[in-house]
């Protein structure tokens, strides 16, 4: 399914032209750098963000019914930590609103991140509803069972519940004229055996890949550990998310794609996740701190890193640290 999984290094001459085009789950990306869900809550500005240089963008998280999310204030900067704390709670205008926006022509690859309503009686079925409504309008779907800001949502990472969600959406996906790649976004606050269980369920149910990771509820990696409510993103998440990514890369099947997220502030950070096994990456916090020029700056630097190591493509660098 993928051209960006563990192949031979195939290093090229130092003077070879290095490009950032890559392919993941059949999707042609101009760049491996994507915008994570959380910025474009309602699919209002996906073409505007694509024009900044992102290789792909992910909108959402989208729930069946509109909801206001958690009470404000709910987004906080930690400048000294180069981090954010958010406790948004899936604030969005609902799947019907997004379905209208999603019909607009797209300038590139756009995925949708789906979730469950906070007050839903049956959260498993919420994913079925949103998938059925939106999947055919996007290039891929991410199932978000790892946000810490909806009560009990992370319980859906348990194998028996996750399998129910996947079986439901899979039955819809195979009936589509063009089935879409399905990703699962997991939490960084998991034990090794939990991660392997999730990976096994995903692969047994034909999931295209995993996104590692969502925000953390741990303060251990903060320079000044402090208690907080919500999810922590940014620099403190880099190492924890890499630990999850590394484990997944070692244990996964060759056809399972990985997208690395968490703490990326530079091309060096991106390159580390790629060499660790990620076929693509997503950013959010560094985009908030560094602004719209940040993406293209990192792309120029990433090309140099690849060229210095003799790689002419992203594909040939994926998983280099594990070979």
Query: Which tokens go with 78?
Result: 């930690």
- Going by pLDDT thresholds of 50, 70 and 90, the confidence category of residue 224 is confident
Does CATH place domain 22-322 in 3.20.20.70? yes
In tens, the pLDDT along 236-292 reads 999 999 999 999 999 999 999 999 999 999 999 999 999 999 999 999 999 999 999
| CA distances (Å), origin 273, targets 100, 129, 164, 179, 269 | 35, 33, 30, 28, 7
The per-residue pLDDT for range 80-119, each reduced to its tens digit, is 999 999 999 999 999 999 999 999 999 999 999 999 999 9
> 202 vs 137, 184, 246, CA distance in Å?
23, 8, 17
Predicted confidence (pLDDT) at residue 323 exceeds the cutoff of 90: no
User: What is the reported pLDDT for 17?
Assistant: 53
Which one of the listed residues 31, 129, 146, 147 is annotated catalytic? 147
Is 147 annotated as catalytic? yes
User: What are the domain boundaries of the chain?
Assistant: 22-322
CA atoms within 13 A on the CB side of 67: 20
**141 DSSP β-pair partners:** 112, 182
Give dist(CA 194, CA 196) in Å, integer.
Answer: 5
Is the pLDDT assigned to residue 1 strictly greater than 80? no
What integer best gives the mean pLDDT of the chain? Answer: 93
Categorize the per-residue pLDDT at 40 as very low, low, confident or very high, splitting at 50, 70 and 90.
very high
């Amino acid at each position: 399914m993928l051209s960006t999984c563990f192949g031979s290094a195939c290093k090229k001459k130092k003077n070879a032209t290095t490009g950032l085009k890559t392919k993941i789950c059949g999707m042609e990306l101009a760049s491996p750098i994507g915008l994570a869900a959380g910025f474009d809550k309602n699919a209002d500005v996906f073409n505007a963000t694509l024009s900044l240089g992102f290789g792909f963008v992910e909108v959402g998280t989208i729930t069946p019914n509109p909801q206001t999310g958690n009470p404000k204030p709910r987004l906080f900067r930690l400048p000294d930590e180069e981090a954010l704390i958010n406790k948004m709670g899936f604030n969005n205008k609902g799947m019907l609103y997004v379905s209208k926006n999603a019909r607009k022509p797209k300038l590139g690859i756009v995925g949708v991140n789906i979730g469950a309503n906070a007050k839903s009686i049956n959260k498993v079925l919420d994913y079925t509803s949103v998938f059925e409504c939106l999947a055919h309008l996007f290039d891929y779907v991410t199932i978000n069972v790892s946000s810490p800001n909806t009560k009990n949502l992370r319980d859906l990472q348990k194998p028996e519940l996750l399998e129910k969600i996947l079986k439901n959406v899979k039955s819809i996906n195979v009936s589509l004229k063009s089935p879409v790649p399905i990703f699962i976004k997991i939490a960084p606050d998991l034990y090794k055996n939990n991660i392997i269980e999730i990976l096994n369920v995903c692969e047994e149910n034909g999931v295209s890949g995993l996104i590692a990771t969502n925000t953390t509820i741990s303060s251990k990696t903060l320079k000044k550990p402090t208690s907080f409510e919500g999810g922590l993103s940014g620099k403190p998440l880099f190492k924890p998310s890499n630990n999850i990514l590394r484990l997944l890369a070692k244990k996964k099947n060759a056809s399972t794609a990985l997208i690395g997220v968490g703490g990326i502030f530079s091309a060096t950070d991106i390159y580390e996740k790629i060499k660790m096994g990620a076929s693509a990456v997503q950013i959010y916090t560094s985009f908030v701190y560094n602004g719209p020029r940040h993406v293209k700056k990192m792309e120029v630097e990433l090309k140099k890193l690849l060229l210095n190591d003799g790689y002419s493509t992203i594909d040939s660098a994926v998983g280099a640290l594990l070979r």
